[in-house]
Amino acid sequence: MIPAEDRAHPIVLRMRGYIYRDKGKWMEMAEISRHLTEIEPQESEHWSNRAWAERRYAGLETAEATLLRALGQFPKEPLIHYNLACYAAQLGRIEDAKALLGAAINLDPVFKEMALADEDLDQIW
């Protein structure tokens, strides 16, 4: 059992978020991740996790809005560009998706291989 005074520690909250993800509890994961973006806004992982859960809980538009906020703070984080590319493709904005995917791949070439296997990006090919 985690002592009460440690339950709000970012590491504990992060672990709870992962547990919620594994259990498919998207609303709970989104809420934990939202809180983490408030207390540790400098951690890009929190923003990506929040958007990932929001996509499943609240929809693509909500997730996209979260990552667009994060993009201003983390312009060199390839995962943010990549996920925004996925969202744009799913929303039918193919040219935007291509540009965002290109940015992700330029920042980290590993995303090219991921993109080729990602169903979210099928419309690009």
Cα→Cα distances 37→7, 66, 67, Å: 17, 10, 11
Tell whether 69 and 12 lie within a shared domain.
Answer: yes
Query: Residue 27: which CATH number?
Result: 1.25.40
Tell whether 97 and 70 lie within a shared domain.
Answer: no
Tell whether 24 and 53 lie within a shared domain.
Answer: yes
Tell whether 14 and 59 lie within a shared domain.
Answer: yes
Tell whether 57 and 30 lie within a shared domain.
Answer: yes
Tell whether 2 and 51 lie within a shared domain.
Answer: yes
**Residue 41: its pLDDT value, please?**
96
Tell whether 52 and 113 lie within a shared domain.
Answer: no
How far apart CA 87 and CA 115 sit, in angstroms, is 13
Per-residue pLDDT of the chain (125 residues; tens, 9 = 90+): 888 887 888 899 999 999 999 999 999 999 999 999 999 999 999 999 999 999 999 999 999 999 999 999 999 999 999 999 999 999 999 999 999 999 999 999 999 999 999 999 999 98
Tell whether 6 and 57 lie within a shared domain.
Answer: yes
Tell whether 69 and 42 lie within a shared domain.
Answer: yes
Give the total number of structural domains in the chain.
2
Tell whether 11 and 38 lie within a shared domain.
Answer: yes
Tell whether 85 and 125 lie within a shared domain.
Answer: yes
Q: Give this prediction's pTM.
A: 0.91
SS3 track for the chain: CCCHHHCCCHHHHHHHHHHHHHHCCHHHHHHHHHHHHHHCCCCHHHHHHHHHHHHHHCCHHHHHHHHHHHHHHCCCCHHHHHHHHHHHHHCCCHHHHHHHHHHHHHHCCHHHHHHHHCHHHHHHC
Domain with 80, as residue range(s), is 75-125
Tell whether 90 and 50 lie within a shared domain.
Answer: no
